[in-house]
Amino acid sequence: MKPIFYVYTKQGCHLCEILIEQLMETLRDKADIKFIDIESKPELFNEYCEIIPLVKYRDEELFRYHYDHNIIKKIMITFP
């Protein structure tokens, strides 16, 4: 089973676009990425509006604002 990463984002977020591109390039088909549009629900927007992009894995925050290859690499080593 592939790991699943969750990216909290919104339309028009330049930092989000950069992070997503870097994450997709690293993961390719080795993991799934689910995108959470914080503008889809007021409670999501209120909680995450100032800390996107944010990446979670297994309900744990991995990083926000900028991509961290080392964190992803550590997680992906545990998968064949």
- Sort strands 32-37 and 4-9 into parallel, antiparallel or unpaired: parallel
Q: Which pLDDT value is given to residue 1? A: 86
What residues does each domain of the chain span?
4-76
* pLDDT at residue 13 tops 90: yes
Single pTM value for the model = 0.94
> How does residue 15 score in pLDDT terms, banded at 50, 70 and 90?
very high
> How does residue 79 score in pLDDT terms, banded at 50, 70 and 90?
confident
Q: Which pLDDT value is given to residue 77? A: 94
The fold for domain 4-76 equals Glutaredoxin (3.40.30)
Residue 66 exposed, middle or buried by CB count within 10 Å (0-12, 13-18, 19+) = exposed
53 and 19 Cβ atoms separated by less than 8 Å: yes
Phi/psi zone of residue 65: left (φ > 0), alpha (ψ -120 to 50 degrees), beta? left
Q: Which pLDDT value is given to residue 4? A: 97
